[in-house]
Structure 1
């Protein structure tokens, strides 16, 4: 397929006039760009920005991130999802402190070797912050190039992604690799969007073969997603005089190591759940009351949750692996994943029962 006319000049001119004034662009240190790129994985810009600002205020340097207590780290990440990103950020920060004196390396391969850093993130940091002539190819960039070349190859195939990456690099000006990579990402985020691209606003519309073919919105091509399995989950909201009972999840699997209301990965009726809660507490919690339903979608499974409320009128010790958390604890120190947001307001605002020993 013949190459297109050069895209960098009109693309960079468009980016100069239309690029968003984002905090990590206004102060593009390697640390700030790295954190922003990790946060933006699987997360919309509008959702990520408030988290980014809080994160940077609390942990302004790599050393601060490396030394942060895990509970504080997860509290800063609370509700952003995909908590393995936060764990890998801290693992990488500690390696950077040990190996590179607290400064991210300027080498693509060294960046790529850090936990949680893939080809794209390494390319973004290396090009934007260090001016390295390397690609940073994410879903936005793949979409732009599929449409520019009217290429209906399956972009989920590694060989196709490598071919697209070669095209990206063929157009990259070596002396402006960072702005070029950012401009491509921005074009895909603002103009060459999924489904219904705004071709009238595109600086590359005059050379776009997908537009010339009449239906750029059909691209890029990838196989349909497999349906997520639905997992029934029963959640117990247990209130006592000392707070709400929270249980720490195991160190492996979904939401590893995070706090949650006690739950069971199955559908339990009130009687069966009461027995399960009694085994957990070592005491009968009394009758339960329905507390509503909610669902939460993870990348590979959908939780369909049914909540039940139990109110204890006497103090009980927290079972092993559990704590009693007050509303202040929930607000300040105990991170609660977004999967449980349907019940968070109740847990933060409802008056706890008075109790006896």
Structure 2
């Protein structure tokens, strides 16, 4: 193993790489998981799986994928569906901008390509929401194009094999890692090779407690030889999580609750929510709710009780949500939509038809469980 670590500069060590590529392909053929999109490598199925897997764990994606494919089995189905339907099917996966871009891309595929997903990487990258990673994944997995896929797993595997000492997100690192993957890839085996690298990162070369003794390419791993596996890849410093306190109101009237739809741009765009918002410094949650409902809807309310508190993490934020039951006071005030684009009064059992952020959905489940269908 010491020879593998002492072969000179990293970028000059990629010439003899084919043994790594063939070892990875052979391992994958014998050990691949029976994932649903691997049955036929249909381009649409591969595309949906790759979009869902961005920043989401495989175990969470699988049930969403199966439900999505049953409801939207073709590109045309996505193109024709309402955004509300798509968001509801996606609810819980997060990063909802992916859904809007997915539909825009589907509509372009129908208009420009007759519903057939293009096989060229550059054509794929011109579609909305498809960046270098997704384009390479679809081109190689669905169409067998010899292009490397550099996802998080591939970054970790290649950085460890090279004992790469720089942050993997840097432009230079991205270029070098993509270059070595391309060198290691056996010609005509891009589908197996790219999945082998990603599968290895998911099952063996894990971020923590990697199973190095089970690795099929350990003999070529410089980080293993140098005992630096725990320090590779070098990651950029993570931004600090920001704590946010939020108060929302379950505004009740005649057996229904009020929900409003967020604007089509910004965080959680197009999703439905209970009215409310972020607390100002020094405010109690109750004061926050009164202020927010006055600002958002132009109404005054009486808080009739606290329902629950929910803690939830989203992107860079740690959310502490306080939920209150409330009623209009006086009761006949008109609601003015000052920040939302639509508002509805809906019975509890009807809330399942609308797409909500995860914290709001948890609140809905709690309300339905505790009180049946009576607000």
The bucket for the TM-score relative to the shorter chain is: over 0.9
Counterpart in the other structure of 1:301: 317
For 1:135, the equivalent position in structure 2 comes to 148
- Unmatched 5+ residue regions in structure 2? 1-8
Q: Does 1:339 align with 2:359?
A: yes
| Map of 1:285 onto structure 2 | 301
Question: Which string of whole-angstrom CA distances, capped at 9 and with x for unpartnered residues, describes residues 293-319 of structure 1?
Answer: 223322233322222221569787765
Bigger Cα displacement from structure 2, 33-42 vs 342-351: 342-351
1:330 maps to 351
Number of aligned residues: 353
User: After superposition, where does 1:150-189 map in structure 2 within 5 Å?
Assistant: 150-189=163-202
Per-residue CA distance 1:152-196 (angstroms, 9 max, x = gap): 121110111101111000011121111101111100011000022
Which structure 1 residue ranges, 5 or more long, are not aligned? none
> Which has the higher mean CA deviation after the structures are superposed, 231-240 or 218-227?
231-240
Q: Distance in 1 between matches of 2:55 and 2:184?
A: 27
Displacement of 1:143 after TM fit?
A: 0.6
* SS of residue paired to 1:294: strand
Q: Which moved more, 1:163-172 or 1:317-326?
A: 317-326
Please give the TM-score of this superposition, normalised by the length of structure 2. Answer: 0.88
Mean Cα displacement is larger for which, 41-50 or 335-344? 335-344
Could you tell me whether the CA contact under 8 Å between 2:277 and 2:288 is conserved in 1?
Answer: no
Which one of 66, 90, 96 corresponds to residue 83 of structure 1? 96
**Residues 240, 315 of structure 1: 8 Å contact kept:** no
**Deviation of the 1:352 alpha carbon:** 5.6
Say whether residues 1:146 and 2:159 are aligned partners: yes
- Are the equivalent residues in 2 in contact too, given 1:85–1:116 (CA < 8 A)? yes
Shift of 1:237: 1.7
1:286 match: secondary structure: strand
- 1:4-15 pair list within 5 angstroms: 5=17, 6-15=19-28
Asked if the contact 2:348–2:373 (Cα under 8 Å) also holds between the matched residues in 1, the reply is: no
2:77 paired with 1:56: no
Contact kept in structure 2, 1:131 and 1:178, CA below 8 Å: yes
